[in-house]
A and B are shown apart, each in its own frame.
Chain A
Amino acid sequence: MADAICIESVVKRFGAKTAVDNLTLNVAEGELFAFLGPNGAGKTTTIKMIAGLLMPQEGRVTVCGHSMGHNGLAAKAQLAYVPDQPFLYEKLTGREFLHFVAEMYGLSRAQRDESLGELVDRLDIGPFMDQLADTYSHGMKQRVVLAAALLHKPRVLVIDEPMVGLDPKTVREVKDLLCDMARAGGTVFMSTHTLDVAEAVADRIGIIRHGSLICLGTLAELRTQASGQESLETIFLELTDTRDETV
C-alpha cells in the first residue's frame, strides 16, 4: 500500500531547542496511526509540519505524494487538519460555516448536500446547526469542526487530541468515524494522550520523546519491545521511563 504521509529526516528547531530531531515516519493509505508522547515531546510540532503550518529546517514532508514545501496547495487539498483547540467562526452558524468550507474546497452543491446529510446524522449536529457558533459547548464545536474536516472527503485526516472534552457517546462516535475512514481507504494520523483510545483503534502506534521517535509498531510489536507488558499505558510509561534513565 502506498504511503499517504511521508516524513523524511525532518528537523525542526525553535531557537536553541530542537523540537523534532531527524524524524522519519511513513503512514500508509488506509492506516489509523496513533502518535503518542509526553508533553513537549514534539507531537504538535510534527502535526503542524504535516498540516503546512510550520516548515522543517531539514528534511521534507509529503502528503499523498505532494511535497508540503513545494506543492502545498495540492497537498492541502487532500488533507484535513483538526487542531486540539477547535476553530470556528463565532458569528457564523454551524450550517453557514460548513457551507463556507464546502465552497473553499470547491464542492458542488449536490456534493456538499450529500456529504453534509451524512455527517449531520452521524455526528448528531442537526439540533444546533442553525445556532451561532459562539453559543456552542466545547463538544458541539468539536463535532462541527470534525464535520467540516470530513466534508470534502479528505484522503488524510490529521487530528490533534480528538477526544478532549467529549462525552462518552461522542467519543464512541468519533472512534467509529475514524475507524470507518481508515477502512474506506483514508489515512488517519491521530495525536492523543488518551491511551485506551489509541489501544482500541490504532493500526500502528508511534511514541515520540524529545523530538525523536523512540518506538514504532503495532501494539503487539510494542509489547515485545516492552518486556511483554499488556496495557499500552504500562508500555508507554515503561518505554518513556527507560529512555529517561539513559538520557
Chain B
Amino acid sequence: MTKPSEIAPVFTPCGIGVLWRMKSRALWNHTRAVVAEAPVKVFATGIFLAAIWMALYMLFRWGFFFFQRDALQSAVAIPLLFNFFFVTLLVLLTVSNAILAYGALFTHEEAAYLMAAPLRTRTTVALKYGESLFFSSWSLLLLGMPLMMAIAHVQNEAWLFYPLFIAYFLAFIPIPGALGLLLAWMIVRYLPRSARRSLLHVGVAVLIVAVLWGLQSVRRWEWIDENWLDGFFTRLSIIQASVLPSTWVTRGIEAAVADRRGDALRYLIVLVANGLFLSWFAIHLVSFGFVGAFDRAGGSRGETDRPAVETSGGVAGMIFAFLPKSPRLIAAKDLRMFLRDPLQWSQLAILFGLMSLYLINTPRFSVADGPTRWSSFIPFLNLTAISFILATFTSRFVFPLISMEGHQLWLIGLLPISRAWILVAKFSFAMVVTLSVATGVNMLASYILRISFVSSVVHWAVTASVCWGLCGFAVGIGARLPKFDQHNPARIANGLGGTINLIASVALIAFMLAGMGFVTYRVGEGGINSRSEWMVFILAGVIVLLGIAAGTVAMAVGARHLKRIEV
C-alpha cells in the first residue's frame, strides 16, 4: 500500500464540466443498453411518439385554420391560445422542476456522494438544476414542436421563424426551472416534515378551490351575451400581465409571426436575460443554504405523523372491505404505499390535473347546445385522453407490483393464502386508484360540458371497463412475465413483460376506442334518436364486456402461472 498523499497547499475543485462528461457518458451507456435490451420497446415508443406528434400537429393546424377564418377571431384567439399554453407550461414546469429538484438534491444517494466529494456546493446544485431542466422540458419538445410547425404552416412563415421559435422555448425553460429549484429548497429549508405534509394538504385544498372557482366562473359565463367580450378580457387579463414570462413568449411569437423582427428580438433578449438572472440567483441562493437544507432533509427523513398513519390505515382498510382479511391487508398496504410515494401519485395528479385544466378551459360553449357532432366528439376525446393516461400509469406502476413482491419472497412464497388472492388484492388496489381519478375527471367533464345523463353514464361505463381491462392486463401480465431478480420498478416496467403489457394495453384501448369512435361517428352524423340510442347502448355494452373479458382473462392466465411458479 502506497503512502497517503501529502496535503496540497490549495486544493482546486473540479468544474462542472467533469460532471457533465460523466453524465453524458452514463446517458450514452443507458441509451445503448435500452436499444440492445428492448428494441421492440424503443421502436414502439418511437411509433407512439410520432403518432402523438402527428395528432398534435393536425389538431393545432386545424385549430389555427379554424381561427383564421375570421380576422377578428384570429387576432383575439391566437394570442390567447399562446397565453394559455405558456401560462399552463409555466405552472406545470415550476411544479415538475420543484419535484425533480427536491428528489435530486435531497433524497437521492448521488447528492450525498457529491456532497462528500471535494466539490463546490454550487457545482452540485448547478448539475442537479441542469438535470431537472433536461428531464422536465420533454413536454415542451412534445407539445412545442407540433405547435411551431402548425403555426408556420398556416401562416406561411419565413425560415427565420423556426430558430426564433426554438430560441423562445429554450429561453423560457430556465425561468420555471429556477422557480422550481427555489421552491424545493424553501420547502426543505424552512418547513419541518409535518409542515411539509400540511403544505401538501393546503396545496390540494387550494387546487380544489381553484377548480371550484373555475367552475363557478364557467357557470356564470354566457357565451352569447352583449357583454361577453368585456367579461372575457377581464377574466383573462391576469394571465396576460406584462410581468409574466408567458406574456413575453406570447408577444415575442406574435412579433415573429408578424415578421416584426425588432420586437421579436427584444422579447427574446428579455427572456434570455431573465432566465439567466433567475438561474444565477437560484443556484447561488440554494448553494449558500444547501448544507443546512441537506442536513434538515436528512434529519427529518423517516419522521411520521402517528395519527395520520393510523387514520390512513383505517381508511385503506374500509375501502377494501369487500375483500377477505388477508388480501384486504395487502391491498390496503399497497394503497398506503401509493399515497406515501410522491413519484406515483404526483405523476397521476399532474396528468389528470392537466386534463382538468383543459376541461375547465374548454367550455366556451355548452356541448349540449352545440352541434350534434361536437356533443359526441368532445366526450369521445376525453375518453381517449383518460384511457391513454391510465395505460401509462398501469404500465409504469401497476405492472411491477407482483415482481416487487416476489423479490421480497415472503408475500408470494410464505404467506398462507392462495396466490390468486394476491392477484385479486393487487387488482383491487389498482382499480380503486384508477377508477377514482377517472371517475372524477369524467364527472368534471360531464358537469362542465353539460353532457346528457345517458351519454355520461355510457362514457363512465366504458371508462370503468377500460380501467378493468388495463388493471387486469397489468396485474395478469405482471404475474405471467414477472422479473423477480430486479429491484428497480422502472426497469421491471421497461423489460420484455412491461413492453408486452404496454403494447397489449394500447391495443386493447385502440379496439375499445375504435368501437366508441364508430358510435360517436354514427351519433354525430345521424343525431340522437331512439334508434341511435339503442345502437349506442348495444355497442357500448359490447365494448364494456370486451374490456372486462380482456382484463379477466389476463388475470386468469397470470393466476395460473403464479400458482406454479417457484420463487
- Enumerate chain A interface residues (CB-CB to B < 8 A): 14-15, 48, 51-55, 64, 72-74, 76-79, 81, 83, 85, 87, 89, 91-93, 96, 100, 103-106, 115, 118, 122, 132, 152-155, 177, 180-181, 183-186
Beyond A53-B112, A132-B33, is A118–B295 a contact (Cβ under 8 Å)?
A: no
Tell me whether B295 and A54 are in contact (CB under 8 A).
yes
CA A77 to CA B354, docked complex, whole Å = 47
- Chain B contacts for A180, CB-based, 8 A: 1
Chain B 114-126 near chain A by CB (<8 Å), digits 1 or 0: 0111111000000
| Shortest beta-carbon contacts, A-B, top 9 | A180-B1, A77-B11, A91-B26, A76-B118, A14-B299, A186-B4, A153-B5, A77-B118, A91-B30
CA distance A64 to B291 in the complex (A): 21
| Interface segment out of the listed B12-20, B305-313, B511-519 | B12-20
Q: Is the CB of A152 within 8 A of B5?
A: yes
CA separation between A181 and B294, bound complex, in Å?
A: 31
- In the complex, what distance in Å separates the CA atom of A89 from the CA atom of B294? 21
What chain B residues lie within 8 Å of A186 (beta carbons)? Answer: 3-4
| B114–chain A nearest beta-carbon distance, Å | 9
Q: Does B8 contact A (CB under 8 A)?
A: yes
Could you tell me the distance in whole angstroms from the C-beta of A188 to the nearest C-beta in chain B? 11
Q: Are A104 and B300 in contact (CB under 8 A)?
A: no
Q: Report whether A83 and B112 are in contact in the complex, using a CB–CB cutoff of 8 Å.
A: yes
Contacts of B118 in A (CB 8 A): 73, 76-77, 104-105
B465 to chain A, nearest CB (A): 39
Given contacts A83-B112, A96-B29, A106-B11, 12 further A-B contacts (CB under 8 A): A53-B112, A55-B291, A55-B295, A72-B291, A87-B112, A96-B25, A105-B118, A153-B2, A153-B4, A155-B7, A177-B1, A184-B2
In the bound complex, how far is the Cα of B298 from the Cα of A185, in angstroms? 33
Q: Considering only CB atoms, which chain B residue lies closest to A178 in the complex?
A: B1
Residue from B112, B119, B120, B303 having most chain A Cβ neighbours under 10 A: B112
Interface size counted on chain B using CB atoms at 8 A: 40
Contacts of A64 in B (CB 8 A): 7
Q: Which residues of B contact A118 (CB under 8 A)?
A: 2
Q: Please, which residue of chain A has its CB at the minimum distance from the CB of B123?
A: A104
Q: Which residues of B contact A103 (CB under 8 A)?
A: 14, 18
Q: Does B243 contact A (CB under 8 A)?
A: no
A155-B6 Cα distance, complex, nearest whole Å: 8
Alpha-carbon gap, A183 to B109, bound state (A): 32
Q: Which one of B21, B110, B118, B300 has the greatest number of beta carbons of chain A within 10 Å?
A: B118
In the docked arrangement, what's the CA distance between A118 and B2, Å?
9
Q: Which residues of B contact A76 (CB under 8 A)?
A: 116-118
In the complex, chain B residues whose CB is within 8 Å of the CB of A78 = 7
Residues of A near B109 (CB, < 8 A) are: 83, 85, 87
Q: Is the CB of A104 within 8 A of B11?
A: no
* Nearest chain A residue, comparing its CB with the CB of B108: A87
Contacts of A96 in B (CB 8 A): 22, 25, 29
Q: Is B27 engaged at the interface, CB distance under 8 Å to the other chain?
A: yes
Expressed in whole angstroms, the minimum distance between the Cβ of B209 and any Cβ of chain A is: 32
List 23 A-B pairs, Cβ < 8 Å: A15-B192, A15-B300, A53-B295, A54-B299, A55-B291, A73-B13, A76-B116, A77-B8, A85-B109, A87-B112, A96-B29, A103-B18, A104-B14, A105-B117, A106-B11, A106-B12, A115-B2, A153-B3, A153-B5, A155-B7, A180-B1, A184-B2, A185-B3
CB distance from A122 to the nearest CB of B (A): 8
CB contacts (< 8 Å) of A85 on chain B: these are 109
Indicate with 1 or 0, residue by residue over B90-132, a CB within 8 angstroms of chain A CB atoms. 0000000000000000000110110111111000000000000
Closest-CB distance, A136 to chain B (whole angstroms): 13
Task: Return chain A residues, CB-CB under 8 Å to B294.
Answer: 53
Complex partner residue of B22 from A51, A92, A115, CB under 8 angstroms: A92
Q: How far is the CA of A91 from the CA of B488 in the complex (A)?
A: 13
| Interface status of B292 (Cβ within 8 A of chain A) | yes
Report B266-293 CB contacts with A as 1/0, cut-off 8 Å: 0000000000000000000000000110
Contact of B26 among A54, A92, A154 (CB under 8 A): A92
CB distance from A110 to the nearest CB of B (A): 14
User: A100-B18, A153-B4, A155-B7 are contacts. A91–B300 as well, Cβ < 8 Å?
Assistant: no
Q: In the assembly, what is the distance between CA of A209 and CA of B230, in Å?
A: 72
Determine the distance from Cα of A87 to Cα of B108 in the docked complex, in whole angstroms. Answer: 10
Q: Are B11 and A52 in contact (CB under 8 A)?
A: no
Nearest-neighbour CB distance to chain A for B491, whole angstroms, equals 8
B18 neighbours in A (Cβ, 8 Å):
100, 103-104
Q: Which residue of A has the minimal Cβ distance to B121?
A: A72
With CB as the reference atom, state the residue of chain A lying closest to B115.
Answer: A53
Whether A185 contacts B4 by the Cβ 8 Å rule is yes
- Check B292–A52 contact: CB distance below 8 A: no
Q: Tell me whether B22 and A100 are in contact (CB under 8 A).
A: yes
Known: A53-B116, A73-B118. A92 touches B4 (CB 8 A): no
Residues of A within 8 A of B299 (CB): 14-15, 54
Contacts A73-B13, A77-B11, A96-B25 given; indicate if A183 touches B1 (C-beta within 8 A).
yes
* Cβ contact within 8 Å between B3 and A53: no
Q: A51: which of B13, B116, B292 is its contact (CB, 8 Å)? A: B116
Q: Is the CB of B298 within 8 A of A54?
A: yes
With a cutoff of 8 Å between Cβ atoms, the chain B residues found around residue A153 in the complex are 2-5
Report Cα–Cα, A78/B9, bound state, in Å.
Answer: 11
Tell me the minimal C-beta distance from B494 to chain A in angstroms.
12
Closest residue of B by beta carbon distance from A79:
B116
Partner of B4, one of A81, A91, A104, A154: A154
- Minimum CB–CB distance from A218 to chain B (whole Å) comes to 23
Residue of B nearest to A101 (CB): B117
Known: A15-B300, A155-B4, A184-B1. Is A106-B14 also a contact (CB below 8 A)? yes
Against A, the Cβ 8 Å flags (1 = close, 0 = not) of B171-211 are: 00000000000000000000010000000000000000000
Residues of B within 8 A of A73 (CB): 11, 13, 118-120
